[in-house]
Structure 1
Amino acid sequence: MSMITEPPVATGPSAPNATEVAVGTRGRQSGGAGAVIRAYVSLTKPRIVELLLVTTVPAMMLAAQGLPSLWLTLVVLVGGALAAGGASALNCYIDRDIDLLMRRTKRRPLPTHVVAPRNALIFGLVLAAVSVTLMATFTNWLATVLTVASIAYYDLVYTLWLKRTTAQNTFWGGICGAAPVLIGWAAVTGSLPPAAWALFAVVFFWQLPHFYALAIKYKVDYARAGIPMLPVVASVRRVNLEILVYTWLTVLSSLVVWPLGMSPIYGITAVVVGAVFLLEAHRLARRSSRGEAIKPMRLFHWSTTYLTILFAAVALDALI
């Protein structure tokens, strides 16, 4: 199935010019200091940062078999938030051409000219540099290398290349999305045992049904911007199949964690919330295949709840 065609779209971000900078300056002047601060905060995509930290802290607790040192936890939280925020700001800079075309993103700071592109670029680079400096100074080489690799992969490999060229962008982009689990674990122990990789697998596979549900909701948006998300370029049957496969892989990965030193507190939680997650995925696939009205955001929101509850169980298990 070919991708829906729309008017030509630039295939890559262009360098900021004097007009962009001037327009951004006017936007800042008209919006006031408060609006500008909120715009810079929004460049970091706080909801994504929050979700990443939800997985990082429990992973650190499990690695420490209890509470890691408060100082280390603070460093990893701040460093991780800055890394994720910096990578997101750079993502906004790179994607400003397509963000302007999508209803979901056209009100972001760059398309609305509240922040000038050059300023967003500098902001993202500074956040990334500070995060790496923190990790290098107060953690260890493994956690630092993983942090650098995650930022570079997200912006240079995923945003610049994969997102714009392949329907498998969500799959390969999941590597950096699941990296905070490894970074948190590595910061505590300096190593990555099987339990760390099992948690990584949970988050990695979880991202597929989570973001496919979002892509179904905004299918027209992605098509307009020329982004080959799976729901844009593939049949409904193919999308449903991948949602089901990756939901099952998510739940199975969560169960693999159980025998790796976890108690029934985690195991029973994983079974219960996993069953509900599977139920929602099968419900969406069934209604979609029948041509009935679907609510993909129901699966999207439940998947967030699933991950939060599951990692809360990881943290509780580590404490007990």
Structure 2
Amino acid sequence: MRLSSPLSVDDAGASSASTPGAPDTTVTVSPSGPLSRLRRTVGPYVALTKPRVIELLLVTTLPTMILAQGGFPSFGLVLATLVGGAAAAGSANVLNCYLDRDIDKIMNRTKRRPIVTGEVSPRAALVFGLVLGVASLAWLALMVNPASAWLTAAAILIYVVGYTMILKRRTPQNIVWGGAAGCMPVLIGWSAVTGGVSWTAALLFGVIFFWTPPHYWPLSMKFRRDYAAAGVPMLPVVAKDTKVAREMIAYTVAMIACSLLLVPVQGMTWVYGVVALALGLWFLWSCIGLLRRAEHPEAGKLRAMSVFHASITYLTLLSVAIAVDVFLPF
């Protein structure tokens, strides 16, 4: 599961304010002040953690904790879990940038990442990523519980070793199996509350596991040339769009099934069931639209990125539905 950083490290040169008829009171702000220097130093490191990716991961963690608790968990537990999870995800993303720095400089989408531009040295990035990872695991073990720490360690290993080092450059199914790392936050959130996992947590894992390919492959379609130039065999690089779209539809159907199985397994209300089905069918229709465009370009105008954005909307609204359902009086 990957998105651009919202943090801007650009600095304004100067600012001024004046009132007509009043003496000149222009104030110049030096771009070399302490705050500006701090932003230039810290900003690139923050960008390496891919904050928007972390945001999406945390969107699934909190609703899972609410579902596991059957209400709002304690604020302290939620804060500790989210802080530890964010740090762990940031660590994995930094190490991903370190390992992929050779192909990042080739791809237009990633050539402005701080290691490529020289804002952060490879060695500094490696140290930062490792320290952040160790700190996140220690934090979770001490502030949450050992089960959550172990699951978090597994998530980092799956993403850094399984996906980035082994799968990404070797198989078109890289994002399918490597994407399992993005499913781990629901297991971590569930274990933070209960101390373990359950069939409900497994179904939530399944929802995100099957959601990941139809979420990421449209992005790969848009940046197909980038991946091809870098030698990364994403499925849209090595297969026709019709094959990619059909596989997206199959994964989406499995995703919908997992989301609906929560009703009997966890005892979700009919309201959640209706919302989950409606959201699932809406997203499925967007994938079918992509297939229609691939088979008959003149008949369909749906672009791949619209499916990508729809996938984010789907997961966000489904997560909200899971959280809200806990508080329904029936």
Using the size of structure 1 for normalisation, the TM-score is 0.88
Q: Compute the displacement of 1:288 (Å).
A: 1.3
User: What does the per-residue CA deviation read over 1:183-218, in whole Å, with 9 as the maximum and x for residues that have no partner?
Assistant: 100111012111111111001110110001100111
Q: 1-side partners of 2:138 and 2:196: how far apart? A: 20
> Contact 1:67 / 1:319 at 8 angstroms: preserved in 2?
no
The alignment status of 1:128 with 2:128, answered yes or no, reads no
User: What does the per-residue CA deviation read over 1:139-197, in whole Å, with 9 as the maximum and x for residues that have no partner?
Assistant: 22221110011111110111011001111101101211100000100111012111111
Where in structure 2 are the equivalents of 1:5-154 lying within 5 Å?
32-154=37-159
> Contact 2:260 / 2:273 at 8 angstroms: preserved in 1?
yes
> What residue is the counterpart of 2:326 in the other structure?
318
- Of all paired residues, the percent bearing the same amino acid is 49
> What residue is the counterpart of 1:235 in the other structure?
240
Q: 2-side partners of 1:43 and 1:290: how far apart? A: 40
> What residue is the counterpart of 1:24 in the other structure?
none
> What residue is the counterpart of 2:278 in the other structure?
272
> Contact 1:45 / 1:85 at 8 angstroms: preserved in 2?
yes
- Give the match's secondary structure for 2:285: helix
The one-letter code sitting in structure 2 at the alignment partner of 1:137 is L
Q: Which moved more, 1:181-190 or 1:293-302?
A: 293-302
> What residue is the counterpart of 1:290 in the other structure?
296
The one-letter code sitting in structure 1 at the alignment partner of 2:283 is F
Q: Which moved more, 1:146-155 or 1:31-40?
A: 31-40
> What residue is the counterpart of 1:299 in the other structure?
307
Q: 2-side partners of 1:32 and 1:108: how far apart? A: 19
- Give the match's secondary structure for 1:310: helix
User: What does the per-residue CA deviation read over 1:198-249, in whole Å, with 9 as the maximum and x for residues that have no partner?
Assistant: 1110011101100011001110000000000001111222111111111111
Q: 1-side partners of 2:37 and 2:67: how far apart? A: 45
Q: Compute the displacement of 1:294 (Å).
A: 4.6
Q: Which runs of 5+ in 2 are unaligned?
A: 1-35
The one-letter code sitting in structure 2 at the alignment partner of 1:203 is I
CA-based RMSD of the aligned residues comes to 1.2
Q: 1-side partners of 2:262 and 2:221: how far apart? A: 30
> Contact 1:99 / 1:111 at 8 angstroms: preserved in 2?
yes
Indicate the structure whose relative CO is greater, using CA pairs within 8 Å and at least 6 residues apart.
Answer: 1
- Give the match's secondary structure for 1:272: helix
Q: 2-side partners of 1:205 and 1:224: how far apart? A: 28
User: What does the per-residue CA deviation read over 1:34-59, in whole Å, with 9 as the maximum and x for residues that have no partner?
Assistant: 23322111101011100000000000
Q: 1-side partners of 2:262 and 2:168: how far apart? A: 31
- Give the match's secondary structure for 2:59: helix
> Contact 2:168 / 2:233 at 8 angstroms: preserved in 1?
yes
> Contact 1:199 / 1:253 at 8 angstroms: preserved in 2?
yes
- Give the match's secondary structure for 1:227: coil
> Contact 2:208 / 2:255 at 8 angstroms: preserved in 1?
yes
> What residue is the counterpart of 1:27 in the other structure?
none
Return structure 1 stretches of 4+ with deviation > 3 angstroms: 291-294
> What residue is the counterpart of 2:31 in the other structure?
none
Q: 1-side partners of 2:89 and 2:190: how far apart? A: 17
Tell me which protein shows more helix as a share of its residues: 1
Q: Compute the displacement of 1:138 (Å).
A: 1.9
Aligned partner (choices 190, 193, 198) of residue 188 of structure 1: 193
The one-letter code sitting in structure 1 at the alignment partner of 2:226 is D
- Bigger radius of gyration among the two: 2
> Contact 2:80 / 2:143 at 8 angstroms: preserved in 1?
yes
> Contact 1:63 / 1:185 at 8 angstroms: preserved in 2?
yes
Q: Compute the displacement of 1:83 (Å).
A: 0.3
